Amino acid sequence: MERSLKRTDSKQFLEPSTRVVVVHDAVRPMVPAALLEQLVLAAERCGAAGATRPLVSTIVASTGPEGLLDHCLDRSTHMSSETPQAFRLDTLCAAYSKCTEHDLDHGTECLQLALAYAGVRAQLIEGPPDLWKVTYKKDIYAAVGSLRENKCRVCIVAPEECEVADMLMEHLAPKVNVLQRVVGLGETTEGHFNAAVFFHRHNIAQGNGLLDPERPCTVVHVFDHDAPSSAGADGMWQVSVQEMHRGARHREELYGKEGKSVAVVHWVTAGREGRLVRLVSALILLSAEDDEEDADVFSGQTLFV
């Protein structure tokens, strides 16, 4: 920015009713709305607020041209300052109107400026693990992977007593953006989902009302043949594998008309809960790869665990 523009009164660019300003660095592309809300509320209360993350490396200081160690910082008492940062407008304007030209040229920490020139101690709020900078080429690949995982909105429909559904919830929780479990389709849900898993012990429930009508979606039907009231006890094993597969292909035709993909998993071996969870998770996370040619490679397939 031109030096002559640095002292421009920022208020002229803002609405008269503006109370809080959020400062962000675009190289941190993944910011949850909940964090923004926390920062804005904290800034209204304290004057300033900033996101932080725990240090993953020890910070060292060197002295002299030889680059010899001078001292180390205690990681337990220091954090990494991140963005977004939020400020009451009067706090930020006061800090920038009083800081030096050296601060403007070399100081990149707005929280420190608010402390030094406006006397405001910022509220520090720990941000999520994805709040990191895309600095190097390798970071781009990590960001793309995180974005693919985090755009998954998953609903799990299962009986109240279903241990494997609990395991699936725990496995998916850190990998998806929204995760909800319901017992019946009549329960209130958090909007539409782009992936749904149905654990069946009786009839198949389509649950189309759960799915986002505007986006590709993935549906996984899991038949628990080991449960006392399972389809297996109702005579499913009288149906041939070919007929099972034909049923899955039929569901693919039905879902395909709405741009959805579907897979059917028959859980026939007790003690393989972990394997079932990993398989269903893979099918769900594959739905986030909707820009890949094989995103719906399993649609219409019948799988056995």
Per-residue pLDDT of 285-305, as tens digits, reads: 876 555 444 456 667 777 778
Residues 63 and 163 in one domain: no
32 contacts 129 by C-beta, under 8 angstroms = no
Residue 146 lies in a domain: no
Instruction: State the residue range of the domain holding 55.
Output: 3-126
Same-domain status, 76 and 213: no
89 and 168 in a common domain: no
Q: Dihedral (C-alpha) 221, 227, 230, 234: value to the nearest 10 degrees?
A: 150
Give the CATH number, domain containing residue 101. Answer: 3.90.550.10
The verdict on residue 40 lying in a domain is yes
> Under DSSP, is residue 183 helix (H, G, I), strand (E, B) or coil?
coil
Same-domain check for residues 104 and 204: no
Is 142 among the domain residues? no
In a domain, residue 242? The reply is: yes
**pTM passes above 0.75:** no
Helix (H, G, I), strand (E, B) or coil at 212: coil
Tell me, yes or no, whether 131 lies in a domain. Answer: no
Does 297 lie in the same domain as 157? yes
Question: What is the number of structural domains in the chain?
Answer: 2
Residue 198 lies in a domain: yes
Q: Is residue 134 part of a domain?
A: no
Nearest Cα residue to 231 out of 271, 204, 257, 269:
204
Express each pLDDT in 7-17 by its tens digit: 445 555 566 67
133 in Cβ contact with 139 (< 8 Å): yes
The H or E element spanning position 102 is helix 101-106
Beta-strand ranges (E) seen in the chain are 20-23, 48-54, 60-63, 68-72, 79-88, 123-126, 153-157, 178-182, 195-200, 217-224, 260-267, 301-304
- Among 126, 141, 161, which residue terminates a domain? 126
Q: Which residues in the chain come in under a pLDDT of 70? A: 1-16, 145-151, 184-191, 201-208, 226-245, 247-248, 250, 253-254, 256-257, 287-298
State whether 187 and 237 are in the same domain: yes
Q: Residues 231, 298: one domain?
A: yes
Are residues 28 and 108 located together in one domain of the fold?
yes
